[in-house]
C-alpha cells in the first residue's frame, strides 16, 4: 500500500489557507485518497531552519498582493487581513492539534482559516478560535483545558519536529513518500506525484 500523502499547515499562513481550500477537491478530482492534514507550528520551523516570515520583510506588500491575486484566480472570497497579522498562532495550533486528536482536523482547520482570512478575525484572540471550534462542535470549556495538557503541547511539538526531520521547510507543504512539495504553487505537482505513487 502506498503511504498516504500528508498536508502540513499553520493557520497563520495565507498560502496554507489557499491550499486548504483547494486540496480536498484536487485529490478527489484525481480519484485519490484524501491526504492526512497535519497541523505544525510554523514558528518552530523558522527556529529549526533559522529563517523568518516574508510578511515581516520588505516583500510583505508584494506577498499580500500575490495571495490576493491567487485567491481571486481560485474563485475564493476577497481576503480580509486581520489587524496585526502575522501574529502568535500557538493557541490556535494547539486547538488544531486537539481537533486532530479528536477526529475534527479538517472541519476545524477550514473554519479557522476562514475566520482568519475570509472574515478578518484575528486568531491570536482565543475567542475567535473558539468560534471556529464551535462550528465543528468542539466545546469551548473542553478546549480551554485541552490546550494546556501535556498531550496536546507535546503532540504539536512532536509533529513540528517530525515535519522538519522529513524536510518540510515551510507551509503549505505536501509530502508524498520521500518527496516534499513546498508552496501553494506546487499543490498540483504534489497531487500528480500522489497519483503516480498510488
pLDDT of residue 95: 96
Q: What is the pLDDT of residues 5-21, one digit of tens each?
A: 999 999 999 999 999 99
CB-side neighbour CA atoms (13 Å) of 151: 8
The SS3 of residue 179 is: strand
Neighbours of 14 (CB within 10 A): 24
Three cell numbers, residue 170: 515551510
Percent of the chain's residues with pLDDT above 90: 88
Give CA angle at 68 (63, 70), nearest 5°: 95
Distance CA 152, CA 133 (A): 16
Q: How far apart are the first and last CA of the chain?
A: 8
CB-side neighbour CA atoms (13 Å) of 180: 15
Distance CA 171, CA 143 (A): 25
**Domain parsing of the chain, residue ranges:** 6-197
CA 178 to chain centre: 20
Distance CA 58, CA 194 (A): 36
pLDDT of residue 2: 66
The SS3 of residue 5 is: coil
Residue 1 has pLDDT above 70, yes or no: no
- With 0-12 CB in 10 A as exposed, 13-18 as middle and 19+ as buried, what is 27? buried
Distance CA 190, CA 182 (A): 9
Omega within 30 of 0 (cis) for the link into 84:
no
**Inter-residue contact 33 to 64 (CB < 8 Å):** no
Please check whether the domain covering 6-197 is classified as CATH 3.40.30.10.
Answer: yes
Which pTM was predicted? 0.96
pLDDT of residue 20: 98
Residue 190 has pLDDT above 80, yes or no: yes
**Inter-residue contact 143 to 102 (CB < 8 Å):** no
The SS3 of residue 88 is: coil
Mean pLDDT of the chain: 95
Q: What is the pLDDT of residues 126-169, one digit of tens each?
A: 999 999 999 888 888 888 888 999 999 999 999 999 999 999 99
Amino acid at each position: 500500500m502506498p503511504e498516504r500523502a500528508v498536508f502540513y499547515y499553520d493557520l497563520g499562513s495565507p498560502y496554507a489557507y489557499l491550499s486548504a481550500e483547494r486540496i480536498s477537491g484536487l485529490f478527489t478530482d484525481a480519484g485519490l485518497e484524501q491526504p492526512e492534514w497535519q497541523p505544525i507550528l510554523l514558528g518552530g520551523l523558522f527556529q529549526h531552519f533559522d529563517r523568518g516570515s516574508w510578511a515581516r520583510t520588505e516583500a510583505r506588500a508584494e506577498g499580500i498582493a500575490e495571495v490576493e491575486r491567487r485567491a481571486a484566480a481560485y474563485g475564493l472570497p476577497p481576503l480580509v487581513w486581520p489587524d496585526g497579522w502575522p501574529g502568535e498562532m500557538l493557541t490556535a495550533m494547539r486547538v488544531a492539534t486537539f481537533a486532530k486528536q479528536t477526529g475534527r482536523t479538517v472541519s476545524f482547520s477550514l473554519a479557522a482559516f476562514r475566520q482568519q482570512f475570509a472574515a478578518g478575525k484575528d486568531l491570536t484572540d482565543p475567542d475567535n478560535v473558539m468560534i471556529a471550534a464551535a462550528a465543528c462542535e468542539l466545546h469551548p470549556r473542553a478546549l480551554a483545558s485541552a490546550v494546556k495538557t501535556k498531550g496536546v503541547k507535546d503532540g504539536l511539538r512532536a509533529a513540528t519536529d517530525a515535519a522538519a526531520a522529513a524536510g518540510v521547510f515551510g507551509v503549505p507543504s505536501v509530502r508524498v513518500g520521500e518527496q516534499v512539495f513546498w508552496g501553494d504553487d506546487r499543490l498540483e505537482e504534489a497531487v500528480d506525484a500522489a497519483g503516480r505513487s498510488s
